[in-house]
Structure 1
Amino acid sequence: MINTANSSSWQWEKNDQGSYLTCKLLEGWQHGFFSSHFQGKPPEILIKYLHPSALSYRLKQIHSDIIISTDMIDNHFSKNDNNQLMEGDGIITQKSLQSVWVASADCTPVLIADSKSGKVAAIHSGWRGTASEVVPKAIKILKSEGCQGENLLFALGPAISGKVYQVEEEVAVKVLKTIISNSHNLDNNEILTQGYLLPNQPILKDSTENKVRLNVTQIINSQIQQEGILPHQIAISPYCTYQTPEYFFSYRRSHEKNVQWSGIISV
């Protein structure tokens, strides 16, 4: 399923293996939100479709707020012979021609680029990572490394739509607390009530008791803007992983542990 209101900023690229999604906002960087057509192909293979000379970096994702630099990954592998991946859910580049990758199946893949330095980042943010503010943490790290907020660009890739993502109310509360001011002074019902009134519908009512529909991507969008990023610096994919089986895996739909990869290369 496609949200046509957001579709103009996104294009499909095709090759002999299938299709992958790109975002106009990141047109200065080789990148791709790869579809299920590339099942079983890790970043080390996918990189050839973007830039064969680039190095590939990925992590063992654990739904955390841990963000790792490519230098840290290089140092890790230089000291370890077993090739065990570092744990974390975000990677930030330190040099040019470094590709950073995240896997997802309903969670939101976030690709970030700095238009001045060429530095990039890839973040995996499901509801747990969003509740722990992994994307705002990445923004703070990028700023600490010299990036300016006005130069940062964000592409939020295909993820499960809030219209179909049913969660417990307590899950929604944990995520909403990150974007509602003075939430520490509110009880859960007050937080949910405020959540229903927020723009972009981060939560919707559900017919099942103690359940709501949660739009994680819109929560991330709000988190980014609370860091001083303007709306024109953010693009949101119009595709729902759950409702687009011809292109994307969805754990909620199939209950199978298949993933698609999203990656971007620094310049």
Structure 2
Amino acid sequence: MAARLTAADPAARWSRDEHERGVALVLEDGDVWEKGCASVTLIEDSVLSNARADAISGRTGIDGVVAGARYSAAALSFVLHARSPLVPTLRGDVRWFKVGAHEWYGGGLDLTPSYLFDDDCEHFHSRLRQLCESRGGGAESYRTMKAACDAYFWLPARAEHRGVGGIFYDDLAAPWAPDFSLALLDAALDPAGPYMPIVEIRRALAYTPAQREWQLTRRGRYVEFNLLYDRGVRFGLTPESVERVLVSSPPLTAWRFRAEPLPGTAEAELMAVLRTPREWA
């Protein structure tokens, strides 16, 4: 993934942060991406806490997931915040969790634009649907995962979604889950995949200071979701992990009082879709 990003944005500056359970690669100050990161975490033969056991057993309904049980887990997550307000933010991850004889996969890929281009959304969702049909559970799995993505990336206090969605899955134990998860990671930054063709089309387009300011406002919503609602952030935020958890935040944001766009503007068109998601594929 780092090689693909470097090929697309050679000016980006990279740093590497290693810790006892993994590594994070942080991208900053590129021509295309203002900030991004890709991180891997691996936990082997650890012990479930009460909170984690309750959360897993509550979601899966499987007996034997109790405090003190041994578990292993792995995750790869990534996010890319573009410099241009016309290039959307991309976020994705794949997670694996094993307790005893039970194992589950989770993950997803979703798009957060500041400006709405129907062609971009249709391309992104069409590629994800094709991936579900060829490597996953078929068209029905795309519809299920798309609905789950819309439901998860929702800011109830704002009554709006964070972006135009994608796919999201959790506690997946289907036989196709391992192959699909690997295929999703491989496709995420493929030059012909769901995201990179959008970047190539939009990266060179001129934009105005007002469009940049709107991008910073939308980034504020991104941060709001992460801090208030994201399950992974709330679960993993500790004094020891704060830098690793918050590294996915954009480098610059803005909060304007009552930043509601005027009717008929491109910004208002985006908000209409964020409040009432469309079917793109």
TM-score norm. by structure 1 comes to 0.27
Which one has a larger percent helix, Structure 1 or Structure 2?
A: 2
Higher gyration radius (CA):
2
